Structure 1
Amino acid sequence: MLNLPAFFHDLNQTDLADWQPYFQQIIEQRLNQYTHGEWQEWEEIIEKLPLIKTENIELKDQVSIGSQKDLQQLSQLETDNFIQKLKRFHPWRKGPYNLFDIHINTEWRSDWKWDRVIKHISPLKNRTILDVGCGNGYHCWRMLGEKAQFVLGIDPSQKFLAQFAILKKYIGECPVHLLPLGIEDMPKDFTNNGFDTVFSMGVLYHRKSPINHLLELKQQLRPGGELVLETLVIDGDEQQVLVPTDRYAQMRNVWFIPSAKALELWLARSGFKNIRTVDINQTSLEEQRSTDWMHFHSLKEYLSPDDINQTIEGYPAPKRATLIATL
């Protein structure tokens, strides 16, 4: 699933080339941990997916690969089998994807988040980009659609890596890569050769130490680089922070939910400049929901049945802010 020669080739076209030995070592360590579970089965499934040629790839306004006409290369039985194999990688959480007119209707309308973010950030053309906690890489493809030079997504989930590998099989070789790493696995000292843009979307509230996460993001940026931070927030002033007693919207791994003003203060204390909150949006039942491609419980089941403005635990319903800052 990982084409490391292609990754290192693309890495070497950037100012990050000096980190190839480090990445070789850390990736080998991580892959050695993937000797259990369904990893080998997923690799075999992806390897045997049919080779379908297409010249129709759209990444700027959506992630769309090929058309139904391309599926004519397959018999109806082969097409049905192809769809069933795609569904073996359930749950599909980030998307949506249009793969040969097969609509992979994911839990999240990640395209809506992208539409809220893209109009506020610096143009991504010719930039090197790190997407932290990228899931299956949906936003990485949209970054390539904006003509980024090099995009590295990191996420430790094996399932997300497998889903990404399916898309890359049909998109073909391009300077977009997903590594099964966390932010703590990344190099710690880029000196003057960090990424031009670092994205952290939907990650901060899962970290036990949010300030440490901001400092980790800072370490990945070049001087003058841009941070795009999207996370859960609550209403309030710069001192307002929610720390759930146990679960938040049924999630156990939610630790700190600050107000946007508090988050601006945290960024300033962490050494960022030009800090601004550019969007605040309450997550709707249309943006996060169960589908045929993600049939587990979703946002509807996590909100109070009497008041969708509250979680089932009685906290404010999920509201997300996007903040931009520079180093």
Structure 2
Amino acid sequence: MAQNKYDDPDFFASYSNMPRSQQGLEAAGEWHVLRTMLPDFKGKTVLDLGCGFGWHCRYAVEQGAASVIGVDLSEKMLKRAQEMTADSRITYQRGSIEGVEYKENQFDIVISSLAFHYIENFAEQCRKTYRWLKPGGSFVFSVEHPIFTSLESQNWIIGPTGERLHWPVDNYQLEGPRNTKWLTGDVTKFHRTFATYMNSLVEAGFQIKKVIEPEPSPEMLNQIPELKDEMRRPMFLMVAAVKP
């Protein structure tokens, strides 16, 4: 069953206070890299899976997209997205990523930001996305890195004086659910290996064009010195692929 943590009032309030929720894409530590992986949106039909507040939907139309569908399971997220959107080219639909269905060859571009680690069957999602894309279409997504999701704790090993000693990796090959704690509650994420991400795309028929494990930008490192620890292990995995 698809999770809907974001409609929990406390969880939603906590998420709404995050910098990326209040300031948008420029406050997202990975945006400076993801932006470089996106294709030309001009005149394109776009699908955003797990659209949240709609930041990427609005970016797509700002770049000239002809139409954008943003999908999210959370009623609260979509309500906020609607309040922030004044463009008829964007349509928001409530539904789970796993449950929505679209026509074959319907979209030029499918994007997803930090959502696929919440779904159980990534291989099936790749097959569906491949069907929905037109020949030559682009599939660009980001997820939490498998090194980040391997352990449920998702936290540093802390030394006796509070210093971060190292990031633990264990049970890496054991794919499946991880019951983690984030913001105000328990959240289930699905760990899968780097190889599973890549092979699921290839087996669905995609050609992988670029894979990036992003680092914080120099500007963010200057603004937030504690981000230097993000250089010690990858937090995100980003992939750009195309349907031949």
TM range (shorter): 0.5 to 0.7
Q: How many angstroms apart in 2 are the aligned matches of 1:242 and 1:283?
A: 29
- Answer whether contact 1:152 1:176 (CA < 8 A) is retained: yes
Gaps of 5+ in 2: 1-7, 148-171, 221-225
In the alignment, which of 202, 224, 230 is matched to residue 268 of structure 1?
A: 202
In structure 2, how many angstroms separate the alpha carbons of the residues matched to 1:253 and 1:216? 23
1:148 matched to 2:65: yes
Describe the SS at the equivalent of 1:183: coil
In 2, distance between residues paired with 1:272 and 1:225?
10
Q: Does 1:197 align with 2:109?
A: yes
| CA–CA separation in structure 1 for the residues paired with 2:131 and 2:61 | 23
Structure 2 counterpart of 1:322, one-letter code:
M
Secondary structure of the corresponding residue to residue 53 of structure 2: coil
Establish whether residue 325 from structure 1 lines up as the match of residue 241 from structure 2. Answer: yes
- Local SS of the residue matching 2:68: strand
Percent identical pairs in the alignment equals: 20
Moved more, 242-251 or 115-124: 242-251
Does structure 1 residue 278 correspond to structure 2 residue 196? no
Q: What amino acid sits opposite 1:147 in the alignment?
A: G
Which stretches in structure 1 are left out of the alignment for 5+ residues?
Answer: 1-36, 39-87, 98-103, 288-299, 301-307, 310-315
Shift of 1:317: 6.3
1:70-89 to structure 2, matched below 5 A, reads none
Alignment match, 1:109: 27
Contact 2:110/2:133, CA 8 A, preserved across alignment: yes
- The correspondence for 1:184, drawn from 78, 82, 98, is 98
Please tell me whether residue 224 in structure 1 is matched to residue 142 in structure 2: no
Q: Which residue identity is paired with 1:254? A: K
Give the C-alpha shift of residue 325 in structure 1: 1.0
State the Cα deviation string for residues 100-156 of structure 1 (Å, max 9, x = none).
xxxx3479933x433312222321111100000011101111111111111110001
Alignment partners' CA distance in 2, 1:241 and 1:201: 24
CA 1:175–1:277 in structure 2 vs 1: closer, same or farther (change >3 Å)? same
**TM-score normalised per structure 1:** 0.52
Q: CA deviation at 1:245?
A: 7.0
Higher share of residues assigned strand: 2
Separation of aligned partners in 2, 1:244 and 1:317: 21
CA distance in 2 between partners of 1:93 and 1:243 (Å): 32
Distance 2:17 2:174 in 1: 26
Contact kept in structure 2, 1:120 and 1:278, CA below 8 Å: no
2:76 is aligned, of 153, 156, 159, to 159
Whole-angstrom distance in 2 between the partners of 1:210 and 1:279: 19
Deviations for 1:19-38, whole angstroms, at most 9, x for unmatched residues? xxxxxxxxxxxxxxxxxx99
Distance in 1, Cα, partners of 2:176 & 2:145:
13
Going from structure 1 to structure 2, the CA distance change for 1:263 and 1:91 (only over 3 Å counts) comes to: closer
> Match of 2:49?
132
CA deviation map 1:274-322 (0-9, x unaligned): x0333212679x98xxxxxxxxxxxx9xxxxxxx67xxxxxx9662111
Match of 2:162 in 1: none
The one-letter amino acid of 2:128's match is E
- How far residue 198 of structure 1 moved from its aligned partner, in angstroms, is 0.2
Distance 1:173 1:207, change over 3 A: closer
**2:179 match: secondary structure:** coil
1:247 pairs with 2:161? no
Offset from partner CA, 1:189-215 (integer Å, 9 cap, x none): x23x41000012212211111211222
In structure 2, what is the Cα distance between the partners aligned to 1:228 and 1:207? 16
TM-score, normalised via structure 2 length: 0.67
Whether the 8 Å contact between 1:241 and 1:256 is mirrored in structure 2 is no
**Does 1 or 2 have the higher relative contact order (CA < 8 Å, sep 6+)?**
2
Report the number of matched residues.
Answer: 200
